[in-house]
Chains A and B, each alone.
Chain A
Amino acid sequence: MNNLTSADKVIILMSIVMLAILFFFTWSNTASTRHASLYVAGEKRYIIDLFEEKTLSIDGVKGVSKLEVANGKIRFIESPCSTHFCIRSGWLNQTIGLIACLPNGISVHFSNENKTYDAINF
């Protein structure tokens, strides 16, 4: 640690700054996607703009599910299923990645067009 040249100090300072910026951009909740894709029985039906406040009534396999869109977020508020796991999942966010009512065949996740698979394992 004795003979740190000024270039070294610049490198370390810049790496700390870069890390701070990266942490801010990836971990703050301000980074959100604008659109969600809604699938009914496996086929993509709607692309929902998350910044328009509305309530959607979607016809699923078993009945009508209601979803609420507010403030860049979406969640189930009514569903004809018996256990209501969809409603209990709450708002769709990056962590859970997907909210779905399986008995009704409706699933919602953030739109990403060009990915064919999420992960591959050997």
Chain B
Amino acid sequence: MQLRLNSSVEDRQIAALAALAIGIHVLESVLPSPLPGIKPGFANIITLIAFAKYGLEAAAWVSVLRVLVGSLIIGTFLSPTFILSLSGALASIAILWVVTKLKKIEISLFGIAVLMAMAHMFAQFVMVYWFFIPHDALINILPIMLTAAVLFGVFNGMIATKVYEKLKPEC
């Protein structure tokens, strides 16, 4: 008896984007970072493109799949790293949801990238404070992390807009 999974076109599109995001995530994990938790987050570019092309649900799928499968590949599944990664991804998806609700305000991928990066970093900071380091001095690292988030968010936003422009004609 054979089990057949009928995949729709959307499934395949999301799977392709998710695979790309997972690849970028895993490859980026070899880059050294100056502080634990500061990483360029290039996989967010794929999430942004998924959001721009296919909408919120696809972006959410790509993001969560990237966190899950990426952690399985790297070997940090269900570790504190995974919890932080997941909370950051969920927070950035929540920001995407807020952006979709604000239909009248036009935000380009650039601004969305910055918002997602800041939400991601802030959510990770809150999780670290609650569960891992409830020390008052931790607040001192928040501005540094948020600065890195804004800088990398700007950078990722630029890349995402460029890539999306090249993608649009083929559709």
Residues of A within 8 A of B (CB): 1, 3-5, 7-8, 11-12, 15-16, 18-19, 22-23, 26-27, 94, 97, 110, 112, 115, 117-122
Q: How far is the CA of A94 from the CA of B143 in the complex (A)?
A: 17
Q: How far is the CA of A19 from the CA of B133 in the complex (A)?
A: 22
Does residue B79 face the partner (Cβ distance < 8 Å to A)?
yes
Interface residue tally for chain B (C-beta within 8 Å): 27
Say whether A12 contacts B135, CB under 8 Å.
Answer: no
Q: How far is the CA of A122 from the CA of B79 in the complex (A)?
A: 8
Say whether B107 contacts A8, CB under 8 Å.
Answer: yes
Residues of B within 8 A of A (CB): 79-80, 105-108, 110-111, 114-115, 118, 131-137, 139-140, 142-143, 146-147, 150, 154, 158
**Cross-interface CB contact of B134 among A12, A16, A26, A115, cutoff 8 Å:** A115
Question: What secondary structure prevails in chain B residues at the interface with A?
Answer: helix
Residue from the set A12, A112, A121 with the largest chain B CB neighbour count within 10 Å:
A12
Q: Which residues of chain B are near A97, meaning CB under 8 Å?
A: 137
Residue from the set A19, A110, A117 with the largest chain B CB neighbour count within 10 Å:
A19
Closest to B115 in A: A11
Q: A3-B108, A118-B135 are in contact. Are A19 and B146 (CB under 8 A)?
A: yes
Say whether A5 contacts B150, CB under 8 Å.
Answer: no
